[in-house]
Amino acid sequence: MVALWLRNYHPPQTHPRLTEKERRHIFAAQAAVPTPAGRKSTVWQLLRHPLCIGFFIAQLLTDPIAFFLNFWLPDYLHTRGLTMAMIGLVGWLPFLGADIGGPGGGALSDWLVRRNWRPANARRALMLMAAGLMLFANLAVRTDRLWLSIGLIAVLFAAQSCWKANQLALIAESVPRESVATLVSLSALGGSLGGVLSNLLTGRAVQALGYVPVFTVISVLPLVAFVALELMMRRARRSAGAIEAR
């Protein structure tokens, strides 16, 4: 993979597939003044900023979905009557959805940007679409048709991957580039915390109630996360903090 990346990577100055408009946009962003004070925001400034709170909450609520799908899928398929041999034979199919949803969701939002959508609006539109697709979790766990359930779980994988790709792009486009790595790290802290707690709670919920309540909860978490993030982004636009949403 590294060799393939090295062979196909080009800097913006010589990239053969960049349009002149895209090239100018990249250079203009690189030349932009990072903060009103001309210096990088501190970790404490970011922690208090609504954008950081919004992304932290969003990952706290949505990263547990990836933990659940990755760690609990074999056991769920076993409860649906599949043997270990059959799980090994078909269990990879839902993960293919993630391979499609991430790059596909990122490419689609970029396509919207090239058609004069504001980048933040394009990312949020794809995140909202992904949140809507997650509602199919209710049908995936309730249908008697095993293959339909597996297909819908593949849709869930694709939606989660699409959400993640556009969320990371939205973070990068919401703050000066000097603050991107810090904000990504702080947001990921929320995702890690959510993943740890969700795994503990999932085990108890499955043992006591089965998988139906768990799938029901994960079906609405992205919509709750989207609303929370929207509220924090609106608050950030109204505030005069150290960083500003673009």
Q: Which two tokens stand for residue 213?
A: 């309540």
pLDDT per residue as tens digits for the range 137-155 = 999 999 999 999 999 999 9
pLDDT per residue as tens digits for the range 41-61 = 666 777 778 888 999 999 999
Residue type (1 letter), 151: G
How far is residue 30's CA from residue 25's CA, in Å, rounded to a whole number? 9
Per-residue pLDDT band for 89 (boundaries 50, 70, 90) equals confident
Per-residue pLDDT band for 136 (boundaries 50, 70, 90) equals very high
Average pLDDT of the segment spanning 178-206 = 88
Per-residue pLDDT band for 33 (boundaries 50, 70, 90) equals very low
Burial of 213 (0-12, 13-18, 19+ CB in 10 A): middle
Residue 11, pLDDT score = 79
Domain boundaries, the chain: 50-238
- The SS3 assignment for 4 reads helix
Q: Which two tokens stand for residue 38?
A: 């001309």
Q: Is 50-238 in CATH node 1.10.10.10?
A: no
Average pLDDT of the segment spanning 67-91 = 90
How far is residue 202's CA from residue 69's CA, in Å, rounded to a whole number? 11
